[in-house]
Structure 1
């Protein structure tokens, strides 16, 4: 896909970039791959619970996940403008992080207002209650013909996946596979729309000023894995296909 991405970048005449919203924990804009690829960004962190005042900055990520997602998208679809929405994080009982449905709702509506082509959501929210506002935001995106991609849960093949946003049928749920297309053992069998590779994907570290001046190469971080990686690749692939359509 890297070679195909280079082909898209050099295709003539150039078309308008694909607008992809990365709804996650923010991104590190210092990576070279993001140069000239940022369309807009906003943070939906609530730092003052009493007055509901928002704070934070999308370019100061609360973790590395959003940076990974955006990096993979840009690798597969280099002719892209990223619209970055930073969500409010919560700690789950199993030690993993998730996001609040309120910030996810606001972020989706923000992305719709910016007329994006694709919304990438490499996460899930487990809720026993109906998240009406989140469903309404997803429905609004669907009415605007925005492609929405989200992740299956990675908690075992027999575990029923009843999480948002994948619980909403307007979202395309992505599961992780091996490089040969076999579903990974920890991915739920429940209603995955597509499987994409989701293991051993590397992400370059940010260059330091000294390494940039010396021309030395940075080493990749340990390869992440899972359906969130697959979802990012799916968003990039969808973007590449949309750009091919514009070239025709």
Structure 2
């Protein structure tokens, strides 16, 4: 096994979605198992962290670091995902429940990520290792012969088998409908888009298998457009057409756009 050279080409070439739908339940089950795994590992390792600035404790971790834009890049992707969620919610039978369902979903997802991230960071054994040694894929922090981590990878494989077709569908609906006015203009268009998506994924898995870097770079890039630029521009244009655009509103929204641009630039400098 090699993180850079081992690719599951069979699953890339698999043409049936039925298998992925059959394992759809593994998405939720895998999340529950990951929370269980993190809880067990944290209980065994203990907490190795200290925030007191006045003591020279070897576990000291500062609350603020100059590398914080790496986190803002990841958070921007979280806001960008809202663009994909809207596409899914358009197919709901009871549209009046969208706000409630989306709020519950965001709360549970945020709570899960926060719990896993905080527990892994707090329990990472430093010393002897520094917190800088934490891998981007938190499962890589455990030994390769760890049974619980191996089971977690199996669950995540099933989860990706269900999520990947869904992401392809979202990309197809948004891109092809925008350029051709139809989510399924022809078999050729859909095939070309799917090949591009799969090819991009395979290339990343082969040449840059760093999930943290991919998330923050793509999040900052896509977020610049869909989180900072487009909403601000559309709102300013609507105010201008209504004759209600003021200098304070213009300055504030230009500042928001500049924040997104600074967030993108910071990803490549830090």
Shared topology, TM-score over 0.5? Answer: no
Which has the larger strand fraction? 1
- Please say which structure displays the higher CA radius of gyration: 2
The higher relative CO (CA closer than 8 Å, separation ≥ 6) is in 2
Name the structure where helix makes up a greater proportion of residues. Answer: 2
Tell me the TM-score normalized by structure 1: 0.28
